[in-house]
């Protein structure tokens, strides 16, 4: 049973690495939001697995908090993308002098 949990934990870590790679590389804003959301979900799962491996099941409360925060954060990010002046593709870097306004 413990070996089973170890395998699960390791595969979750690999998935986290893949999500992190997408968050770092992600060409568009939505790639990044999705990657961060997925990373948060995997963090919740990892915390749950660690809680069962170490036998401290009270830590599951923290996993619940993580999932809640993850949801709120992503919802807020998506609302702000819709309302703000962000674009789905990254804009080319605009060079400005100090003090000059765009």
Partner 1 sequence: MALTIDIFLLLFLIATAIGILRTRHLFAMAMMFGLYSLLVASLFLLMDAPDVAFTEAAVGTGIATVLMLATLAATRRSSEKPRQRFSPSALIITLSTTALLFYGTLDLPNFGDPQAPLHTEMAGRFIEQGQQDTGVPNLVTAVLASYRGFDTLGEVTVVFTAGVGVLLLLKRRRKPVVRGKSHAR
Note the residues at the interface with partner 1 (CB under 8 A). Answer: 6, 9-10, 13, 16-17, 20, 23-24, 26, 29, 32-33, 36, 39-40, 43, 46-47, 50, 53-54, 58-59, 61-62, 65-66, 69-70, 72-73, 76-77, 80-81, 83-86, 90-91, 93-98, 100-102
Q: How far is the CB of 1 from partner 1 (least distance, A)?
A: 13
Q: Residue 84 has what DSSP assignment? A: S
Nearest to 38 by CA among 52, 59, 17: 17
Q: Compute the distance between CA of residue 75 and CA of residue 36 in angstroms, rounded to an integer.
A: 12
List residues bridging with 89 in a β-sheet.
28
């Amino acid at each position: 049973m413990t070996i089973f949990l170890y395998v699960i934990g390791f595969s979750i870590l690999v998935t986290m690495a893949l999500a992190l790679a997408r968050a770092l590389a992600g060409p568009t804003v939505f790639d990044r939001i999705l990657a961060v959301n997925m990373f948060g979900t995997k963090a919740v799962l990892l915390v749950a697995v660690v809680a069962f491996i170490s036998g401290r099941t009270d830590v599951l409360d923290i996993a619940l908090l993580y999932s809640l925060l993850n949801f709120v954060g992503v919802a807020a990010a998506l609302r702000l993308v819709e309302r703000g002046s962000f674009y789905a593709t990254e804009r080319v870097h605009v060079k400005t002098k100090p003090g000059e306004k765009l």
